[in-house]
Amino acid sequence: MSENADKKLLSNLNVLVADDDEHMRALAVTLLRDMGIKKITNAENGEDAIDKYCDACDAKAEFNLVICDWTMPLKDGLDVLKAVRDKQPNVAFVMLTAKKTMESVLEAKQKGISAYIAKPFSTSDFDKIIRRVIK
């Protein structure tokens, strides 16, 4: 993909970022903006993420990418994943989590995530994984 096509793809993405940690959520938003992504919606917990996701789908403004923390209050990342997959089975879904065991990675993959980013992560790892799942 050419650099111009890559920039256009990124600038047209509609992304939902869900994380109960305000600093982690702000970091993800900053990194996405640095990549050229402009349309970003924040959710502070799983329930908020599901509500915003469903509202966007109902308004025909579906998300192209969901970046979601695994462990959040009210609803966890797997609950969000299920709600997303019920509405859009093929949307890119990246699980962000401090869980680093092979069992947790396998569980998330079996549930249908597109990618897994373990916290803490580097800027380059985040960028590489996001670019991979949106292409």
**Per-chain mean pLDDT for the chain:** 90
Predicted pLDDT of residue 129:
95
Q: What is the CATH number of domain 3-130?
A: 3.40.50.2300
| More confident: 51 or 120 | 51
pLDDT at 135 over 90: no
Tens-digit pLDDT profile for residues 29-87: 999 999 999 999 999 999 999 999 999 988 887 899 999 999 999 999 999 999 999 99
Burial of 61 (C-beta count, 10 Å sphere; 0-12/13-18/19+): exposed
Residue 42: how many CB atoms within 10 A of its CB? Answer: 17
Predicted pLDDT of residue 51:
96
The full set of domain ranges for the chain reads 3-130
Report the side by side order of strands in the sheet with 92-97. 39-43, 14-18, 65-69, 92-97, 115-118
- C-alpha 8/C-alpha 85 separation (Å) is 26
pLDDT at 108 over 90: no
The conformational region for residue 107 under phi > 0 = left, psi -120 to 50 = alpha, else beta, is alpha
pLDDT at 2 over 70: no
pLDDT at 1 over 60: no
pLDDT confidence tier of residue 131, bands split at 50, 70 and 90: very high
Give Cα 72 to chain centroid, integer Å: 14
Half-sphere exposure of 116 (CA within 13 A, CB side): 20
The CA angle 68-126-54, to the nearest 5 degrees, is: 25
Give this prediction's pTM.
0.92
Main-chain dihedrals φ then ψ at residue 45, nearest 5 degrees: -160, 175
In one-letter notation, the amino acid at residue 39 is K
Among 9-13, 25-29, 71-75, name the most confident range.
25-29
